[in-house]
Structure 1
Amino acid sequence: MHSYDSQKAVSQYRQLGLQGEVSNASPHRLIQMLFEGLLQQLDLASAAFDRKDIAARGEHLGRAIAIVEGLRDSLNLEVAELARQLDSLYEYCTLSLLNANKNQNPDQVREVRQLLWVLKTGWDAIAPVDNA
């Protein structure tokens, strides 16, 4: 069994309005897409910090938090200890991003981005081999 529930991932992806590849994507690819969108939002938030654009910073951090919560919601906590550990990490990331915005601290965004980039890299490395 997998740590992620693919139906919940599809639902979250659709809620975020990111429907482009969803209909043809494998469950593994859906999680990759969420990670890609998440890292993009964090990069945009960091750029908004640099520009001192408070509105854009809040918007991008809000989207990033929604994606983290989507990843969190898609975890199958009844199946694996790894899922429970990821849940704790995602909770930490959400709280860190909220604090980054509240305290105007771009370093917290960079820390979360680094943590999630490591997860995405690991997820990419275990991609199923396409036998087509």
Structure 2
Amino acid sequence: MQRPVADRGAADRAAQLGRDAVLSATPVRLLTMLYDRLLLDLSRAEQAQLAENWPAASEQLQHAQAILTELSGSLKLDVWDGADGLLALYTYVTNALVMANIHRDVARTRESIVLLEPLRQTWHDAAAILPAAPATLGAGALGIA
């Protein structure tokens, strides 16, 4: 069933506002936005798994994996000593989400939330004390060290 024209217009405007927010965000804001969406995806996946709505769970888990791929690709391994450890965590969680999807395993989704939520909060805390800087995006780069 197609949405009425007024609903599509509102959805289009909301999507444009979202795109504008991303395009005008600082690198640190982009990072916090990615973490927020990652945890939202995982929460939605967990709820869908509990409701045994496997298609919805799969969609959310796959989107979370895409975010983790972007976060992994943005790490500058040669600049920051902690990058290797963070990359290992991203790899572990990505693999856990694949298994959560394949085996319909809500425990792995929950474990991923438990592992990533403190990082999300830490990035938000760090963002609150950093001065704002304009975004300079390259192909897939968030500009984070």
TM-score range, shorter chain: 0.7 to 0.9
Q: Which runs of 5+ in 1 are unaligned?
A: 1-17
Letter in 2 for 1:116: L
2:141 maps to 1:116: no
The TM-score with structure 2 as length reference comes to 0.74
- Say which one has the larger Rg: 2
Percent identity over paired residues? 35
Contact 2:58 2:101 in 1 (8 A): yes
Q: Counterpart in 2 of 1:95? A: 95
Say which SS state the counterpart of residue 104 (structure 1) adopts.
Answer: coil
Q: Corresponding residue for 2:104?
A: 104
String of CA shifts for 1:17-76, please: whole Å, max 9, x gaps: x62411221110000000011011001101110111111111110000000111111111
* 1:64 counterpart = 2:79: no
- Residues 100-109 or 33-42, more deviating: 100-109
Alignment of 1:1-132 (within 5 A): 19-127=19-127, 128-129=130-131
Do the aligned residues in 1 keep the contact of 2:100 with 2:109 (CA within 8 Å)? yes
The C-alpha deviation readout for 1:82-102, integer Å capped at 9, x for no partner, is 111110000000000011111
Structure 2 counterpart of 1:12: none
Aligned partners of 1:23, 1:99: CA distance in 2, in Å? 33
Could you tell me how far 1:129 is from its partner in structure 2? 4.2
Report the Cα offset of residue 112 of structure 1: 0.5
- How large is the RMSD of aligned CA atoms in angstroms? 1.2
